[in-house]
Amino acid sequence: MPIRDVNHFSFTKKGDVDLNVTVLTTGFWPTYKFTELALPAPMVKCVETFKAFYEERTKHRKLTWIYALGTCSVKGNFKHKSIEMQLSAFQTSCVLLFNAVDSLTFAEIRYGLSQSPRSTSAIAHTRTRTDVLPLP
């Protein structure tokens, strides 16, 4: 496989978010199903910053974000302790919904993620099993 088909980029936003992106050329990789995801504001800023950077470097290529391949390292600060979690992009988006409120209904989580009931259930279930998200 030619090295030109994989590009790695890293960005650091001071004190906020570190972003590492691997761009794969679609002709040399398996196809992945695109799933829409409503990203929280800090993640949207990262995506927009990288998109502007990438479009400046490559005028004729289209970026498609495959959130199912994304992973995030998130530090959670809770009342009694802090923990570092390795989460998918979907799980991260779900957890970050709770930055502004202590509890959300299933419908509010579903709306916040723009997911189907089945997908929302799977995303939230993994977090409640580990006591990261509060059960109603």
For residue range 51-92, list pLDDT tens digits in order.
Answer: 888 888 887 888 888 888 888 888 887 778 888 888 888 888
Residue pointed to by tokens 């600060």: 77
Q: Looking at residue 2, what is its pLDDT?
A: 39
Sorted by where each begins, the domain ranges of the chain are 3-67, 76-128
The pLDDT of residue 1 is above 50:
no
The pLDDT of residue 134 is above 80:
no
The amino acid that residue 125 corresponds to is H
Q: Looking at residue 11, what is its pLDDT?
A: 58
For residue range 25-38, list pLDDT tens digits in order.
Answer: 777 677 777 888 88
Q: What angle do CA 50, 100, 73 make, to 5 degrees?
A: 45
